[in-house]
Amino acid sequence: MTTAADIVTFSHTYARDVPGLVLRWSAAEVESPQLLVLNDELAVELGLDPAALREPAGLALLVGNGVPDTVALAYAGHQFGNYSPRLGDGRALLLGELIDTAGRRRDLHLKGSGPTPFARGGDGLAAVGPMLREYLVGEAMHALGIPTTRALAVVATGRPVVREQVLPGAVLARVAASHIRVGTFQFAAATRDEALLRSLADHAVARHHPEAAEAPNPYLELFRRVVLAQAELVARWMLVGFVHGVMNTDNMTISGETIDYGPCAFLDTYHPATVFSSIDHGGRYAYGNQPAVAQWNLARFAEALLPLMADTPEQAVELATPVLGEFADAYHAAYRAGMAAKLGLAEHDQQLVDDLLALLRDQRVDFTNFFRALADGTARDLFLDRAAFDAWEARWSALGPDRAAMNRVNPVHIPRNHLLEDALTAAAAGDLAPFLEMLEVVRRPFEPRPEWARYTQPGTGPFVTFCGT
Ligand code: AMP
Ligand code: MG
C-alpha cells in the first residue's frame, strides 16, 4: 500500500542544524480527509504529482498522517508590542523540506494539525474559512509578484471547530522558503545559548542570504539583508494597498516572504489610518503604520543578533544602528520607484504623489480602481471634487505618462474583502464554486474581463476581519 511517506522524501536540515528549536510531534489523525482545493501549479513546481496528492496516500500527506519526523517549531514574539517568550507552532507542524524543480529548498508545513506542546490551551485546530482565506490571499499576492508563502492545499477534516460558532475544520498545507521568523531569533537569543543562536544564524545565512557568509561580519550582513528584504516587501504591500493586520515579530520572516494571513485585507478607499482587524484597537498595524512597525520589528531582530555581531553589546549596537537606519532609505527607494511606475512616470515626483494621496484620502477614492481608471482616462468619475482632480491630472499629464506601462503594474483584481467573505461563507456551507471562481480572478490580477466586472467593485461600508484562530 502506498503511504504518505512514499510520495515525497523530505529532508530535515533545520531540525538537524538547530535541534534545540524543534519539538518532535505528530499530527492528529484525520479519519476521512476531504480535499477542498489543491494547488496543481505549486505541486508541479515542488516536483510532486498532483494526481498522487488526490489519492488517499496524498491526502494523508496533506494532513500529516503517517508522516515521520514531523516537528513543531519554537519561536517567541512581540504581539502588539508585548513580548511572549514562548509562542511556537501551537497548531502547526513542519513536515519537512523539499527541493523544488528550480533547486530551491522549500518547507512544507501544516496549520490546523492538532494541538502541540506550544498550544497554550488552544485546540490546535483551524476552520475551513480562515484556511481558504490564507490560500486565496497568498495566491493573489503571488500573482501580484509579491514574495509570499503559498498554500499547497486545504483539506477538510470533518472535525468540528468550536469558535463563536461551531465551524467545519480544515488543515492548510503551506509552502515557504522557510519558517524562520524574527521571533525564532528572539526565542534562540532568550535561551542564552550562544551556540544555538549561532547555529540558527548560520542556517539562515546559508539558506536565505548566502552572500552574507562572505562579508567581514556575516551576522551584521545577515541583519542588513533582512532589513533590505523587509523594506522591499513592505513597500510592495503599500503599493497594492495590502494591510497585513498582525505584524507581530513572530509573523515576520527572515526570507522576506509575507507570512500568516489572518486578519489581513486590502484597502478599498485610500486612507493611511485604515485598520480591518477587530483586535487592533490602537491602530498599531494600520496601513500607514506598516513601514514603521516593520522597522520596529527589525530592531527586535537586531537585539536578538547582538551577541553574534560583536564582543560587547555596546560595540554591537554601534554596528547595528546605522544598518537599521538603512531601512528608511531602502523603503522609500522601493516605494518611490513603485509609485512612479504606478503613475507611468520615469521619475518619482514627491509633490505630485503627496498631492494625489491627499486627494484620494479626502475624496475617499478606491485605491486599486483609481490607477486603472487614470490610465484609461476615466478617473475623473471617481472624484466628487472634479475640479481638484482635473488640476492634479493636468500636472500629471504634462509629464508624459506611459499609460500602457501603468496597466502592466496596476492590478484590476485584488481580493475584494466583501466578495471574499461571501465566497468563504458559501464554502463553509459546502459550496466551493464562488471561492474557486474568485481564485481564478485573483490569479489574473492584470487581466480585465467583462464577465469579471463585479470583482472590481469595492465593498460598501466598513469591513472588519477577525484573527484566523
Ligand atoms: P497566529 O495568530 O496564527 O500568528 O498565531 C499566534 C500564536 O498562537 C502561534 O503560536 C500559534 O501557534 C498560536 N495559535 C493560534 N491559534 C491556535 C489554536 N487554535 N490552537 C493552538 N495554538 C494556536
Ligand atoms: Mg503567526
In order along its 469 residues, the chain shows pLDDT tens digits of: 788 888 999 999 999 999 999 999 999 999 999 999 999 999 999 999 999 999 999 999 999 999 999 999 999 999 999 999 999 999 999 999 999 999 999 999 999 999 999 999 999 999 999 999 999 999 999 999 999 999 999 999 999 999 999 999 999 999 999 999 999 999 999 999 999 999 999 999 999 999 999 999 999 999 999 999 999 999 999 999 999 999 999 999 999 999 999 999 999 999 999 999 999 999 999 999 999 999 999 999 999 999 999 999 999 999 999 999 999 999 999 999 999 999 999 999 999 999 999 999 999 999 999 999 999 999 999 999 999 999 999 999 999 999 999 999 999 999 999 999 999 999 999 999 999 999 999 999 999 999 999 999 998 877 888 865 5
Closest ligand to C-alpha of residue 259 is 2
* Res 468: pLDDT: 56
Does 125 contact ligand 1 (Cβ within 6 A)? yes
Q: Does 250 participate in catalysis according to the annotation? A: yes
Does 90 contact ligand 1 (Cβ within 6 A)? yes
**Residue 162 in 3-state DSSP?**
strand
* Res 348: pLDDT: 97
Residue in 21, 79, 91 to alter for ligand 1 test, most ligand atoms within 8 A of Cβ: 91
Angle at 58 (CA atoms; ends 112, 48), nearest 5 degrees? 105
Domain range list for the chain:
4-179, 180-410
**Residue 30 in 3-state DSSP?**
coil
pTM: 0.97
Give the position, in ligand 1's atom list, of the atom nearest the Cα of 111: 12
- Report whether 400 belongs to an annotated binding site: no
Q: Atom 1 in ligand 1: which residue has the minimum CA distance?
A: 260
* DSSP category for residue 41: H
Instruction: Provide CB contacts within 8 A for 69, sequence distance 6+.
Output: 10, 12, 15, 24, 96
Angle at 372 (CA atoms; ends 288, 245), nearest 5 degrees? 25
Closest ligand to C-alpha of residue 179 is 2
Give the position, in ligand 1's atom list, of the atom nearest the Cα of 75: 10
Does 86 contact ligand 1 (Cβ within 6 A)? no
How far is 149 from 230, CA to CA, in rounded Å?
Answer: 14
Q: What is the 3-state secondary structure (H, E, C) of 185-242?
A: HHHHHHCCCHHHHHHHHHHHHHHHCHHHHHCCCHHHHHHHHHHHHHHHHHHHHHHHCE
Side-chain-side CA neighbours of residue 46 (13 Å):
29
**Bridge partners, residue 439, by sequence:** none
Does 109 contact ligand 1 (Cβ within 6 A)? no
Measure 277 CA to ligand 2 centroid, in angstroms.
15
